[in-house]
Amino acid sequence: MLRRLQRIGTDPDGWRSPFTAPVPVHLRAETMILQAERLRGFLPMLCVLIAANALAMALAVLGDLPWWQQATPPALIIGTCLATLFAARGTDPIASEDQAARLLHGTLPVAAILGTIAGIWCVNAFTETEKYYCMVAPVFIGIAALVSSTCLISAPRAAIAAMATTVTPIVIKMMLYDNLGVRAMAVMMVLVAMMQASVVLAKFRETVRMLGYQHELDRIAVTDPMTGLQNRLAFDRTLETCLEAAEPVVLVLADLDGFKQINDRYGHLAGDEILRHVARRMQTVAPSALSVARLGGDEFALLFAASPSGQIPGTCDLEALRSVITQPVQFNGHMLSVGCSFGLAASQAEGGTPDSLVHLADSRLYRDKSRRKAA
């Protein structure tokens, strides 16, 4: 358990990071926002429970401490809880990494300070309260520590800080007490705190794993496994989004000439190799494309942002693209090459729905293919 706690902060940002374990770069923002949203969801319950626990403990030790020692700790704790509830009311959903980071970073010092106040208050109450019910304060403080760590499970560092600062003073005091039963309770508080810290850390690692799995599933759903390009689903979504937003685009459909003959003669592995080379070449020649996709078989699509007048962008040089695609591919000692036919349609000039735009580009592609065969 000690080694686990020592690993807190192994994230590249060190102790400035809200993470308690390394998080892949592509998941950092999503993880932080999810943590912050979960934390904010628990804040009302946490504030109410901690305030109620502080009030209950104050009533339990009423009369055994000087008035300022009785009133100050619960007033600070309850006041902080009320201020937190007031600040969190009616806020908009967390949408940015910076906003999430501010919430998570701000939670840690508040939790640590309140935990320290509660721990010292408990030590004082444990020392000064009448002997026959001196264990009342540790019981309340144990409840507070568990409630805090459970509600702050989406902010692991704050959860562990709240638990450690709350429990440590009273554990030290109880271990110095000349009673075996009290010492045994102190040991149990330590073990329970360690177990709870382990649960908090494990829950964070589980969250990161689940986000990783979800991210991979999302990637697979929109990626062509053969080439790594977008698949038809992703391309259709991109095209539809652009047209719905009235953004002028140029659609280019590409179909390989002679691909079937190579597949028949050299086998599907040769065809797969050509498809992968063509995909990489398209991405290299058209870096500004909104989408480069394999629609199926040997058919590809590229989507470019056009000028407001509907002019084809300079990056959409079909002859340069054709020249690169038709360069030979080496496979098992053979130099294989394919041709390429194109069909183009511009939304600003020809309008229509995604289906009609694709249909127009498709008809022009087959005219280009027929013209090339006749040449």
Predicted pLDDT at 134: 66
Predicted pLDDT at 314: 52
Bridge partner list, 253: 301, 343
What tokens were used for 66?
A: 């000087």
What tokens were used for 200?
A: 């908090």
Say if residue 14's pLDDT is above 90.
no
Q: Which of 8-12, 17-21, 88-92, 369-373 has the lowest mean pLDDT?
A: 8-12
Predicted pLDDT at 6: 40
Predicted pLDDT at 17: 64
Task: Look up tokens 């494309």; give the residue.
Answer: 289
Say if residue 321's pLDDT is above 90.
no
Work out the number of other CB atoms within 10 angstroms of the CB of residue 5: 15
Bridge partner list, 343: 253
Predicted pLDDT at 312: 56
Predicted pLDDT at 352: 73
What average pLDDT does this structure show over 187-192?
A: 91
pTM for the whole thing?
0.69
Predicted pLDDT at 10: 42
Predicted pLDDT at 316: 59
Question: What is 273-334 written as a DSSP string?
Answer: HHHHHHHHHHHHH-TT-SEEEEEETTEEEEEEE--TT-PPPTT--HHHHHHHHTS-EEETTE
What average pLDDT does this structure show over 107-124?
A: 89
**CA dist., res. 322 & res. 315, Å (int):** 13
- Of the chain, the percentage scoring pLDDT greater than 90 comes to 30
Could you tell me which residue, 310 or 244, shows the higher pLDDT? 244
Predicted pLDDT at 63: 72
Q: Running DSSP on this structure, what letter comes out for residue 19?
A: -
Say if residue 135's pLDDT is above 80.
no
Q: Which of 118-127, 129-138, 295-304 has the lowest mean pLDDT?
A: 129-138
Which positions ≥6 away from 221 have C-beta within 8 Å?
A: 233
- pLDDT tens digits along 349-364: 776 788 889 999 999 9
Q: Which of 92, 370, 90, 347 is nearest to 243 (CA)?
A: 347
Helix (H) or strand (E) holding 346: strand 339-346
Say if residue 58's pLDDT is above 90.
no
CA dihedral (82, 87, 91, 95) positive or negative: negative
Work out the mean pLDDT of the chain and round it to a whole number: 84
Say if residue 202's pLDDT is above 80.
yes
Question: What is 175-206 written as a DSSP string?
Answer: HTSS-HHHHHHHHHHHHHHHHHHHHHHHHHHH
CA dihedral (119, 122, 123, 124) positive or negative: positive
**CA dist., res. 46 & res. 55, Å (int):** 14
Q: How confident is the model at residue 334 (pLDDT cuts 50, 70, 90)?
A: confident
Query: 302 and 255 in contact (C-beta within 8 Å)?
Result: no
Q: Running DSSP on this structure, what letter comes out for residue 258?
A: S
Could you tell me which residue, 350 or 339, shows the higher pLDDT? 339
Class of residue 235 by CB neighbours under 10 A (exposed 0-12, middle 13-18, buried 19+): buried
**Strand ranges of the sheet holding 249-257, from the earlier edge strand across to the other edge:** 291-296, 299-305, 249-257, 339-346
Q: How confident is the model at residue 308 (pLDDT cuts 50, 70, 90)?
A: low
Q: How confident is the model at residue 18 (pLDDT cuts 50, 70, 90)?
A: low
Domains by residue range for the chain, with CATH: 2-221 (no CATH), 232-374 (3.30.70.270)
Say if residue 228's pLDDT is above 80.
yes
What tokens were used for 244?
A: 């719905």
Say if residue 280's pLDDT is above 80.
yes
**CA dist., res. 170 & res. 118, Å (int):** 10
